[in-house]
């Protein structure tokens, strides 16, 4: 069993599973008598609200590079809080709906792998003829041979 702090929460740097989160969320709701309010509809609407709060963080920043250079710790902490809210509502919603989120994610990844096989995905070519340049293609742009380039993750 993992050692945890006095709050019962995993310490910094410890792994937390979806099962751990599901149990903690169920206990949290039960202790506060919130189960009565946790219908799928209510949880979905709360999740959408949290996604809105997450969106607000990026709303006026334009494109933000990976790693968030230039963001201070307070901004990153706020981002972590909003990402956490989204994850917690998603985990709770899946629990209330009886969906094993971990298994659903693995199944969806398998479906995506079948729908978008590697040999059907192409990377845009660079204009340089050197082999090193071709390996440095824009890795953020992937063109799919089906679905008009839209990806359903």
Which domains does the chain show, CATH number per domain? 16-99 (1.10.287.1080), 107-145 (no CATH)
When pLDDT is averaged across residues 33-59 and rounded to a whole number, the result is: 97
The pLDDT-based confidence of 135 (bands split at 50, 70, 90) is very low
**What is the rounded average pLDDT for all residues in the chain?**
82
Residue 104 confidence (pLDDT) above 60? yes
Q: What is the pTM of this model?
A: 0.72
Residues present in the chain in total? 153
| Percentage above 70 pLDDT, the chain | 73
Q: At what angle do helices 73-96 and 18-31 cross, to 10 degrees?
A: 80
Cα 33 from Cα 118, distance rounded (Å) = 48
Whether the Cβ atoms of residue 89 and residue 47 lie closer than 8 Å to each other: yes
Q: How confident is the model at residue 2 (pLDDT cuts 50, 70, 90)?
A: very low
> 120 falls in which pLDDT band (50, 70, 90)?
confident
CB atoms within 10 A of CB 137: 14
Residue 50: the pLDDT is 98
Q: Where are the alpha helices (DSSP H) in 39-100?
A: 40-58, 73-96
What does the angle CA 14 – CA 11 – CA 93 come to, to the nearest 5 degrees? 75
Structure tokens that stand for 42 in this block: 């209510």
Alpha helices in the chain (DSSP H): 18-31, 40-58, 73-96, 101-115, 131-135
Percent of the chain's residues with pLDDT above 90: 67
Buried b (16+ CB within 10 A) or exposed e, 47-59: beebeeebeebee
């Amino acid at each position: 069993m993992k050692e945890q702090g006095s709050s019962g929460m995993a310490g910094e740097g410890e792994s937390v599973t979806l099962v751990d989160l599901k149990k903690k969320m169920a206990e949290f709701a039960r202790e506060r008598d919130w189960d009565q309010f946790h219908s799928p509809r209510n949880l979905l609407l709360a999740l959408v609200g949290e996604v809105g709060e997450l969106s607000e963080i990026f709303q006026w920043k334009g494109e933000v590079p990976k790693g968030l250079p230039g963001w201070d710790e307070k901004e990153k902490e706020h981002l972590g809080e909003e990402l956490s809210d989204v994850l917690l509502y998603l985990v709770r919603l899946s629990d209330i709906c009886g969906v094993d989120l971990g298994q659903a994610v693995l199944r969806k990844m398998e479906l995506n792998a079948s729908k978008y096989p590697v040999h059907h995905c192409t990377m845009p070519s660079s204009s340089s003829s050197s082999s090193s340049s071709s390996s440095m293609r824009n890795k953020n742009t992937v063109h799919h041979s089906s679905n008009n380039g839209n990806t359903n993750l």
